[in-house]
A = this chain, B = another copy of it.
Amino acid sequence: MPDLAPLPTPLDEATEALRALLGDRLVTSGGDRRQHSHGEGLPDAGLPDMVAYPETTEEVAELARICTAHRIAMVPYGAGSSLEGQVAALNGGVSVDLTRMNRVLEVSPGSLDCHVQAGVTRMQLNAHLRDTGLFFPLDPGADATLGGMAATRASGTNAVGYGTMREVVLALTVVTPDGRIIRTGSRARKSATGYDLTRLYVGSEGTLGFITELRLRLVGQPEAVVSAVSQFPSLEAAVNTATMARQMDLRVVRLELLDEVQTDACIRYSKLEGMAPKPTLFVEFHGTPAAVREQAELFHELARDMGALSWDEAETPEARTALWTARHHAYEACIALVPGSRNMGTDACVPIEHLAACLIETQADVRDSGLTAPIVGHVGDGNFHLGILFDPEDKDQRARADALAERVSLRAIRYGGTCSGEHGVGLHKTRYLAAEHGEALEIMRALKAALDSLGLMNPGKLIPEREAPPTG
């Protein structure tokens, strides 16, 4: 009787070809797969069938050709710090971990730019740059990979001064789903030659191809820095100070709000002294000594006029680090408010004239929800996060958290803003995209179909399923 072994599946064949390409850098064991099934944030997971660790753009291209030939899904993976489920392998397939592509390929102080592989993290890059007088200015909190930051169009606390990944990426190396290697953009600071492919891949969340290398703008380390903390009697006074500073064109490079609940959490978690549980602004100015002194004084004067209770400048680098460390631990401080809880983040961003109203309405929603949900905000950009705490075992709490998050997202859209200023869409924000983009969503679908016709790149992310068949 002949040996009736089952025919190899496409997955088997792809696995064999990928193993021939990568050797033991293709891993099919449970530990690596589970670790690559989710990012931060909500616990929704998608288990990949395997994890690949390519080391070069060429290896990624060959991997893509193999996966396309066998119709295997590909999910790019960086530091795993994304918050919206971007890295979950919903259809299985290969999680492509780019963290071994971690070489800084070139730094050009003369043109203020650098060339890095996608797996370099922002802290690694800044450590590398320490002696050059330059730094990479974006700071999303997490030590994300630069490829991941580009893919999610990340920004963070410095964006009001230095822009987002949209602004600081000059050029990309991209591997298409079928394994072609393309270079978008150039090292020129500006260009008017053709469709802006760089900006198309920035924010595409791995749904159009792999970002494998980046050319990034750098900036000079500022000669002088002034940081300060100012506390206010009301959220409105704090927010109005921030928005007026923007309207006056004060050149803040960070302008962060903590509401009274979040300030209280940070005081406890980071043992901050001399602060009250009141709405608080953290600000920072970079520049030449006279310029930052003038800007800080103008801001201080404005804050005083708006009724600020305090103004404390962090004079030394150590004091500044302590200040910003407390700000960066806001997430952990928030969780610590309700031990055992999980944190559902929102990411609304609105035109700054509507920020105060939007935040006050949001605080009323929080009260109505009966949940604890502190607010931190990159208020210079009109962006704020609610950290909605809920007990993951309690269905009612989860439902109230979902309802609160939905109200915040839809309100931002009604105010002419966006449901996500910086975290991206991933899995969890797709439900708001029709409200936010309307008919433009059909253009996004056309782009996806044009550049990933087989739908193999990070399936199930960014673009929602159609609710009804297309009518056009």
- Is A155 interfacial (CB-CB < 8 Å)? yes
Which of chain A's residues 416-450 have a Cβ closer than 8 Å to chain B? Answer: 416-425, 429, 432-433, 436-444, 446-450
Contact partners of A382 in chain B: CB under 8 A: 111, 188-189
CB-contacts of A444-459 with B (<8 A): 444, 446-451
Query: What B residues does A200 contact at CB under 8 A?
Result: 195-196, 199-200, 447
Interface 1/0 per residue, A154-177 and B, CB below 8 Å:
110001000110110000000010
Task: Determine, out of A7-15, A247-255, A323-331, the stretch whose residues face the partner at the interface.
Answer: A247-255
Q: How far is the CB of A79 from chain B (nearest CB, A)?
A: 16
Q: CA–CA, A155 to B429, complex, Å? A: 34
* Interface size band for A: 35 or more
- Chain B neighbourhood of A436, CB < 8 A: 186, 193
What residue in chain B is nearest A447 (Cβ atoms)?
B195
Q: Which residue of B lies closest to A425 (CB)?
A: B193
Contact between A352 and B111, CB atoms less than 8 A apart: yes
Known: A180-B439, A243-B110. A416 touches B192 (CB 8 A): no
CB distance from A369 to the nearest CB of B (A): 24
**Is the CB of A319 closer than 8 A to any CB of chain B?**
no
Asked if A212 lies at the interface with its beta carbon under 8 angstroms from chain B, I say: no
Q: Determine the distance from Cα of A291 to Cα of B472 in the docked complex, in whole angstroms.
A: 56
Q: A111-B353, A446-B450 are in contact. Are A187 and B248 (CB under 8 A)?
A: no
- CB <8 Å contact, A444 and B166: no
Tell whether A351 is near chain B: CB-to-CB under 8 Å.
yes
Shortest A111–chain B CB gap in Å is 4
The quantity of this chain's copies bound in the complex is 2
Residues from 85 to 141 in A contacting B, C-beta threshold 8 Å: 108-113
A199 CB to closest chain B CB (Å) equals 4
Q: How far is the CA of A406 from the CA of B441 in the complex (A)?
A: 40
Q: Given A200-B196, A444-B194, A417–B108 Cβ distance below 8 Å?
A: no
Interface string of A191-208 (1 = CB under 8 A from B): 111111101101110001
Partner of A247, one of B109, B298, B353, B439: B109
Partner of A420 from the list B193, B222, B349, B444 (CB cut-off 8 Å) is: B193
Q: Tell me if A184 and B248 are in contact (CB < 8 A).
A: no
User: For the complex, what is the distance from the CA of A108 to the CA of B176, rounded to whole Å?
Assistant: 41
Judge whether A183 is part of the interface by a CB distance below 8 angstroms: yes
| CB proximity to B under 8 Å, residues A260-286 | none
A353 and B193 contact, CB distance less than 8 A: no
With A203-B194, A429-B193 in contact, is A188–B444 under 8 Å at CB? no
Is A58 located at the chain interface by the 8 A CB criterion?
Answer: no
- Complex Cα–Cα for A448 and B447 (A): 10
Verify if A182 is at the interface (C-beta below 8 Å from B).
Answer: yes
Q: Does A190 contact B (CB under 8 A)?
A: yes
How far apart are A248's CB and chain B's nearest CB, in angstroms? 7
17 sampled A-B residue pairs with Cβ under 8 A:
A111-B351, A111-B352, A112-B352, A113-B351, A153-B190, A186-B413, A188-B351, A188-B381, A189-B421, A192-B420, A192-B422, A194-B433, A195-B200, A199-B199, A199-B200, A291-B291, A447-B451
* The 5 nearest A-B residue pairs measured at CB: A110-B353, A199-B199, A450-B450, A220-B249, A111-B351
- Chain A residues packing against B (C-beta within 8 Å): 108-113, 152-155, 159, 163-164, 166-167, 176, 178, 180-184, 186-197, 199-200, 202-204, 208, 219-220, 222, 243, 246-249, 251, 287-288, 290-291, 293-295, 298, 347, 349-354, 381-383, 412-413, 416-425, 429, 432-433, 436-444, 446-451, 462-463, 472
